[in-house]
Structure 1
Amino acid sequence: MHRDHPLMPFFLTLAGVGMLSLMDAFMKGASLAVGAYSAAWLRSALGLALVAPVWLGMGGKWPHRPALRLHLLRGTVSAFMALSFFYALTKLPIAEAIAISFIAPLIALYLAAVLLGERIKREAIFASILGFAGTLVIIGGKLGREQATQEMWWGLAALLFSALLYAWNFILIRQQSQLAGPAEVATFHSGVSAVLLGLAAPWLLVLPEAEAAMHIAASALLTVCAAAALAWAYARAEAQALVPIEYSGFLWAALFGWLFFREAVTVPTIAGTVLIVIGCWIAARAPTEQSTI
């Protein structure tokens, strides 16, 4: 019987995170060319075209009402999460955007308390303080070296809004996983986003030229491939072992930001990222039997 190499889940997680960071770089270029809305909608539509045949080929059937409700809710949340994040990428360097988005797991701790009734540990509160401090370091460093502009403030606001929705997305994924398989989740994730964003297409859609169209197509393919790689990896290794690799996204983002847009990574961005990652690490390592507040 063939057995997978024990390091394969780690390599695939690293590759999956890298593919998502490369997708962000392609989407930044596409968003600058045709706008965040057009880039986001076309990516969702192409993603649906790629994954729906797979789901149907696996015998996919229309979901029952509880699962459908979650599909609709997560698709809506994800649509605006992606739209606001891609808009933020047009205003901020990729590495800074990725670094600040790392606060989403910490926000998710509090949303889990509100939406799922989970109790917040003392460690989680300390982790949240570190994450918030890291965010302030990154933003403060940016304000210290650049003149604050309305465009920058809009980018930061969109990024924080996206992080909030990303945190809610964590909760919805946890609920979805109990009711539907990965192929169904991926199909409705792209499908609901495509339909919802498509409502504004008659007024807002800008058709891309060849280069931007190739970037959007590559983004859709990278999104599907990354989802498959991460799903395979997380099915074969413990989440606590793989989650730290997710933070390699900052390194990938710094690399692709420099290669595509010549974006420099600053010391405050690195320092703030370290604080946020430490906070996420503390929250993830907190024992379940620890006293709570």
Structure 2
Amino acid sequence: MPARPTPLPIAFAAGTLGIALFSAMDAVMKGMTIAMGVYNAMLWRFGAIFVMTAILYLAGRPSMPRRDAMRFHLIRGCVTVVMALLFFWGLARVPMAQAIALCYIAPLLALVLAAVLLKERIGRSVIGASLIAVSGVGVILLGQTQAQMGEEVLLGTAAILASAVCYSYNIILMRQQALLAGPAEISFFQSLVVGGILLLAAPWLGALPPSEQVAPILLAAALATGSLFLLSWAYARAEANYLAPTEYTSFVWAALFGWLIFDETVSLYTLAGAALIVAACILAARRKPGLVAHDAEAALP
């Protein structure tokens, strides 16, 4: 009996909810990074994620992952370490809404990578959209210059842009990985690989978290785990170039959390730059909704 198809809007909704949870996690991680540094914030968060995902994964008595799936677990784990360290270090120095707006170049870059690596079709508008997106980044940087935010903010901005490049590749890996493994397996091995890499530096950089940071660590881990499950489920059911626009919803959450928790305001430059980048990504990603196979294995080439 053929796999029952999943309507793309359902996959899109799951991806959008996953981004909402991830945005909440970003807010928690910003506070943790300010309190105890980016390394220890990531180390303890991934330690908590590993425990949570291990319980969920091992409860199903899984078999050993396939060789090709394990390859993607290792690659994505390595990319995630670099991406996350850059992002959270920058996030501690840049307003949340501005940081998220800069990250919006990642879905556009992912469209190009999807065509190269996944052989997904994209329209001719990608080149023009890329120029629009670059102009959006320029507007945000102009706003920083006008506001004279200082060297720390500029360095944080550079780190976030570098993280966005890594994240564009991560989006592609997410799609490839989701076609080979289930959400529980992906979550477990990502936390295992990332946590293992971070542990290598623990003798020099590791420290016990302050008692008041235990609850934020557990909350960040729970939010990240829930987000990863939802995104893995969605990317197993829809192409990367269809789900990439769900990233844009994070701007609203970032602006809200930044205002409520860190007393941050959103400048007109950030709004204008974000609008240009989002418009560029939507222009490049336009396509008609359809159906894809519910079973991830059915979507394998």
Q: If the length of structure 2 is used for normalisation, what is the TM-score?
A: 0.84
Change (3 A) 1:234 1:286: closer
Change (3 A) 1:226 1:64: closer
Counterpart of 2:96 (choices 94, 111, 119) is 94
Q: Give the structure 1 partner of residue 171 of structure 2.
A: 170
Q: Give the structure 1 partner of residue 153 of structure 2.
A: 152
Change (3 A) 1:68 1:15: closer
1:184 matched to 2:165? The reply is: no
Q: Find the residue that maps to 2:272 and give its secondary structure.
A: helix
Q: Which amino acid aligns with 2:58?
A: L
What is the deviation of 1:7? Answer: 8.9
1:260 matched to 2:261? The reply is: yes
What is the deviation of 1:199? Answer: 0.5
What is the deviation of 1:95? Answer: 0.6
**Contact 2:73 2:193 survives alignment (8 Å):** yes
1:271 matched to 2:272? The reply is: yes
Whole-angstrom CA distance in 1 between matches of 2:98 and 2:72: 31
**Contact 2:73 2:190 survives alignment (8 Å):** yes
Aligned residues: 282
Deviates more, 1:119-128 or 1:231-240: 231-240
* Structure 2: gaps of 5 or more residues: 1-7, 289-301
Change (3 A) 1:160 1:28: same
Change (3 A) 1:242 1:161: closer
What is the deviation of 1:28? Answer: 0.4
**Contact 2:53 2:188 survives alignment (8 Å):** yes
Q: Give the structure 1 partner of residue 292 of structure 2.
A: none
Counterpart of 2:145 (choices 143, 146, 151) is 143
Whole-angstrom CA distance in 2 between matches of 1:277 and 1:118: 21
**Contact 2:182 2:233 survives alignment (8 Å):** no
Change (3 A) 1:121 1:249: same
Q: Give the structure 1 partner of residue 207 of structure 2.
A: 206
Q: Cα RMSD between the aligned structures?
A: 2.7
Q: Which amino acid aligns with 1:99?
A: A
Whole-angstrom CA distance in 2 between matches of 1:18 and 1:211: 25
Q: Which amino acid aligns with 2:107?
A: P
Q: Which amino acid aligns with 1:47?
A: I
**Contact 1:123 1:286 survives alignment (8 Å):** no
**Contact 1:95 1:250 survives alignment (8 Å):** yes
Q: Which amino acid aligns with 1:104?
A: A
Whole-angstrom CA distance in 2 between matches of 1:130 and 1:92: 23
**Contact 1:41 1:197 survives alignment (8 Å):** yes
User: Residues 135-181 of structure 1: CA distance to partner in whole angstroms, max 9, x if unpaired?
Assistant: 111111111112431x2222112101110110111121122122212
Q: Give the structure 1 partner of residue 42 of structure 2.
A: 40
What is the deviation of 1:65? Answer: 2.2
Q: Find the residue that maps to 1:161 and give its secondary structure.
A: helix
Q: Find the residue that maps to 1:179 and give its secondary structure.
A: coil
Counterpart of 2:58 (choices 41, 56, 59) is 56
Q: Find the residue that maps to 1:139 and give its secondary structure.
A: helix
Q: Give the structure 1 partner of residue 249 of structure 2.
A: 248
**Contact 1:30 1:213 survives alignment (8 Å):** no
What is the deviation of 1:126? Answer: 1.2
Whole-angstrom CA distance in 2 between matches of 1:209 and 1:283: 46
Change (3 A) 1:177 1:13: closer
1:280 matched to 2:300? The reply is: no
User: Residues 56-107 of structure 1: CA distance to partner in whole angstroms, max 9, x if unpaired?
Assistant: 1222222232221111110010111111111011110111111100110112
Whole-angstrom CA distance in 1 between matches of 2:247 and 2:109: 17
User: Residues 104-138 of structure 1: CA distance to partner in whole angstroms, max 9, x if unpaired?
Assistant: 01122333455456676421111111111111111
Change (3 A) 1:177 1:14: closer
**Contact 1:18 1:249 survives alignment (8 Å):** yes
Determine what percentage of the aligned residue pairs are the same residue: 46
Q: If the length of structure 1 is used for normalisation, what is the TM-score?
A: 0.86
Counterpart of 1:111 (choices 113, 123, 133) is 113
